[in-house]
Structures are given as C-alpha cells and as structure tokens.
Amino acid sequence: MSTLIEHLADYAHGLSYARLPPEVIHQAKRCVLDLTGCALGACGLGAGRAIVEYVLGLNGCPQATIWGYGGKAPIAQVALVNGTVAHHLELDDGQLASNLHAGITTIPAALAVAELTGATGRELITATVAGYEVAGAIGRMVVSGEGRHKLHGPGLMGALGAATAAGKLLGLSAAELANAISLAGSLLPISPYEAALRGATVKDLYGGWPNLLGVMAAELARRGMGGPRTLVEGTRGIGQCLLDRPFATAEGEAVLAELGTRYEILHTYFKPYASCRAPHPALSVLEELQREHAIIADEIESVKVETYPYAVALSQESDDDSEISARWDIPYNVAALLLWGAVGPEHFDATHRDDARLRALMARVRVRVGEEFANPVVRGARVVVRMHDGRCLESSCQIARWDEADPPSDHDLEDKFKALTARCLPEARIQSLMELIWTLEECQNAGGLARALVCPRHVTGG
C-alpha cells in the first residue's frame, strides 16, 4: 500500500497543464504577480541586502537570477534569497486551512529552477500548482499541531511545496519526487514563532529557508537520496510529533481524496495590509467605518476590538518596538489605519513607530476575544469606536478583506503590484512585467521573467 507521501508524489508527477482548470491557471498567475511584487517592493529594506551580499560573495555557479538586486548564484541559494526578501513586508499570500504561505515557499524555488532548465511558462504554472497542492495537503493534515507547539507554519512546512515544484521542473520521476518530499520533510526547521513576536530578522528567513531546503532536496533526490516514505503517518513521523497522538491515516486519506478537485491554490488569501493576517479582520472593519463616518483620529475616545483567540494571543505576546514584531500587534495596526488611512510597508519604520500620536491612540485600543469568534473557524472581528462627542460607531465582519471568500480582483492585485514596484521601476517597465505575468502560459522560456525582475537602482556587486 502506498504511503501518503507516495500518493502525493504520484499526483504531483502526473499533474499536467492540460489537466488544470482555467480558474486554477489564472489563480497561479495572480499568485506569481502578487509574490514578485512583494519581492520588488522589499528591495533595499530589512536584511535583504545582507543575504544578497552573503550569497554573491560565495561566488557559486551562476545558475539563476536574484530578483531586484541582480547577480546570479546556484538555484538553491537564489531561491533562498528571493524567498527571504519577498517575505520581509509580510504581504505575501496565505492559506488558512494549512497555515501556510505557499506562494513565498514555492514560487521562488520554482522560478529559480525554471530559469536553469529553460522551462516554459506552462511548466512553471503547473509546478507552482503542484507545490501548493502538496504543501497544502500535508499542512492540513498536521495544522492543529503547529498551533499547539507555537510553530510558524510557513517556515516549518513550506519546504514541501518548494521540493515538489523544484522536483517537477527538474524532471524527477514519481519515485524521485517522493524522495524529494520525504527528504525535505525529514529536515524541516522548527521555526518557532518567538522570532516574529520579538522582531528578530531571522523571521524573514522563514520565507527563504524552505526554498533553499526544497531545491536542495530535489537536487539530492535526483542523485539518489531520500527520506522515509512514512514520514507523515509513521509512529515516529511528523504527524505524531506535531499532533502529540498517533496519526490517523484516515484523516490523511480524507485530504488525499480531494486532490484534483479542491485545489489548494484556490483557497488562497491575499493581503491588502502589510501585517500578519491576525489584525486584518479588525482593519477590514475599521476601513469600512472610516469610509462611512470619516473618523478623525484625534476625536476618538476609545476603540474596542473583539476577534478570534489566535489573533488576540499573537497580539498580546508581540513586541511593538520593531518593524517585524509590530506587524502582529493589533493596537499598533488599528492606530496606524486610523491615523494614516492605510497600513503599508512604510508604516512600520522607526519614524512611524515613534510617532507620539500613534502611541497615544494605541493606549486607547483594547483587544479581547469575542464570543462570536471563539470558534477558530470564524476568523472575523467586531470593532466599536467611541468618539468624544458621544457617538458609538460599531461594525463587524466574519472574514477579512481579500480572504478566499472575498478575493481581490485582478485590478486590485495590479494596483498592489504597481504601488510596491513604483519605488524601484519606471511605469513602462511595471506595465511590461504585468503583461508578461498575465500571459505566462505563452512564454517559451519562463526564465525571462526572472531576468526581468531586476531593479537597476538596487543592483549590487558580487
């Protein structure tokens, strides 16, 4: 009898562009557009230049292109850099059911390998979908254990998607692909949430490290290495380790039964705010209240936010004195939106964090678990804004803006891409990049996209 990983590898190996529904193909292009915009928008920020200089300083084989900064390096190292940089703004896509950010942990690996192999755009799309499928399926099998152990899901499980996408583009057989997935799964990092909540810059590596590990696993599988095929359901496998109980094979089989019909990539949420997803329901409600009532921040007496337990816990445990950790803090995000009308990448720098009006408003924001959101399936929020003139403005939502049930339009994603890339690319170049991504299925060499993702003002020497 085949193991869960063998089933997934067989499915991913057999997946072809011709079998993909049109909506899946289009969603893959939306994910590529969104993720590459996040990467270009982060150029020159955070620890990006440090890791670029480190990798280029190794003088490795020039196999693929580092986005934004330029220069070439081995595919695994390029995937590491691109994933790390693109994760910095906390704007990349995610999947609630599996607690993954599949785009950041799949697309950098896929595009690096596609550039090396000369893969077509259709092959890149197919490999990307396969990566989302495998990582999402295994992620859903063990997701409750990640939360119990306070681990960061994308950093922990993302390498499974990277290994799948890279292995498919490297032309691995089904058996070799199973080896790649099981090898990557045997080496998964712990990825403790402590890094994010304390603002440690290693948090950005939670986007890059899975890509490095996944590409390396695929390359080693091609050379005969592999991990245990029973890695998920084995008595000492990751299922039992994370769930603290014997893994129920029937649970895994229930997830497998949805392969080819559910499509993990269609269950993707995108981010309109540059923060952890936890504050997004409250921000979505506040944005509607602002539009309706033209709220003036200085006239606010208090703000009460009720939301789901996980969001409250992350907010209460996070620091708000660093660019990274403030993205988890609900009072910080709420005050930023009320003061500046947006929560963008620029609103977490030192100048904004030290703003006296922001700090004063944060002190008037109270956050607690709402009874209607105690069920973890309902990840919404209720917000009550009391004004000094006696008005009480109140509203709620069951889902955040741009969640999978309320997705952004293509135009919305284009506007996000333009806003993120405007600081490093001219308008004509931005437009040509978007056109290239929207017609990716027509591209005979997907590596052209990687080479187009270089910003002259950020190019660094090797």
What is the model's pTM? 0.97
pLDDT above 90 (res 232): yes
First to last CA, the chain: 50
| DSSP SS3 for 377 | coil
Domain carrying residue 197: 4-271+432-458
Residue 363 lies inside a defined structural domain of this protein: yes
**Measured torsion, CA atoms of residues 403, 346, 30, 144, in degrees rounded to the nearest 10:** -40
Q: Order of strands, edge to edge, in the sheet holding 381-387?
A: 365-369, 300-307, 381-387, 392-397
CA dist., res. 392 & res. 146, Å (int): 39
Residues 313, 343 within the same domain: yes
Short-list 125, 53, 90, 49, CA closest to 441: 125
86-101 pLDDT, tens digit per residue, is 999 999 999 999 999 9
Query: pLDDT category, 160, cuts 50, 70, 90?
Result: very high
- Looking at the 3D structure of the chain, how many domains does it have? 2
CATH number at residue 168: 1.10.4100.10
Residue 401 is classified by DSSP as T
- Percent of the chain beyond pLDDT 90? 93
pLDDT for res 17: 98
d(C-alpha 329, C-alpha 285), whole Å? 16
At 37, list the tokens: 């915009």
Compute the distance between CA of residue 62 and CA of residue 402 in angstroms, rounded to an integer: 38
d(CA 273, CA 402) in angstroms, rounded, equals 10
Torsion region of 174: left, alpha or beta (phi above 0 gives left; psi -120 to 50 gives alpha)? alpha
pLDDT, tens digit, for every residue of 326-355? 999 999 999 999 999 999 999 999 999 999
Q: Tell me the two tokens of residue 80.
A: 């590491």
Please name the residue ranges forming H helices in 88-169: 107-117, 121-148, 153-157, 159-169
**C-alpha–C-alpha distance, residues 357 and 7, integer Å:** 55
| 379 and 443 fall within a common domain | no
Adjacent-strand bridge partners of 303: 365, 385
**pLDDT score at 457:** 75
| Contact present, 58 and 228 (Cβ < 8 Å) | no
Among 183, 457, 164, 194, CA closest to 318: 194
For 42-120, where are the alpha helices, taking DSSP H only? 48-57, 75-87, 107-117
Q: What is the dihedral of CA 313, 314, 319, 320, to 10 degrees?
A: -110
Q: Which of 352, 377, 397 is the last residue of a domain?
A: 397
On whether both 186 and 249 belong to a single domain, the answer is: yes
Cα distance between residue 266 and residue 403, in whole Å: 11
Residue 419 domain-assigned (yes or no): no
The answer to the question of residue 445 being in a domain is yes
Q: Is the pLDDT at 116 greater than 80, yes or no?
A: yes
Question: Which of 397, 416, 450 lies at the terminal end of a domain, its last residue?
Answer: 397
Domain boundary among 349, 379, 397: 397
Q: Closest by alpha carbon to 96, among 281, 238, 256, 247?
A: 281
pLDDT, tens digit, 9 for 90 and up, residues 400-445: 999 999 999 999 999 999 999 999 999 999 999 999 999 999 999 9
Using an 8 Å Cβ cutoff, are 447 and 115 in contact? yes
- As given in the structure block, the two tokens for residue 319 are 């620091």
Whole-number pLDDT of residue 461: 52
- What is the DSSP-derived secondary structure letter of residue 364? T
Give yes or no: residues 256 and 338 share one domain: no
CA distance 298 to 430: 38
73: in domain = yes
Q: Does 196 lie in the same domain as 162? A: yes
Give residue-wise pLDDT tens across range 22-40: 999 999 999 999 999 999 9
Question: What is the structure's pLDDT at 462?
Answer: 42
Mean pLDDT of all residues in the chain? 96
Partnered with residue 64 across adjacent β-strands are 73
Kindly report the number of other CB atoms within 10 A of residue 361's CB atom.
22
On whether both 47 and 125 belong to a single domain, the answer is yes
Residues above pLDDT 70, as percent of the chain: 99
In a domain, 50, yes or no: yes
Q: For 437, phi and psi rounded to 5 degrees?
A: -70, -40
* Nearest of 218, 137, 235 to residue 178 by alpha carbon: 218
Chain length of the chain: 462
pLDDT band at 460 (very low <50, low <70, confident <90, very high): low
30 and 166 co-located in one domain: yes
Say if 362 falls within a structural domain.
Answer: yes
Same domain, 140 and 256: yes
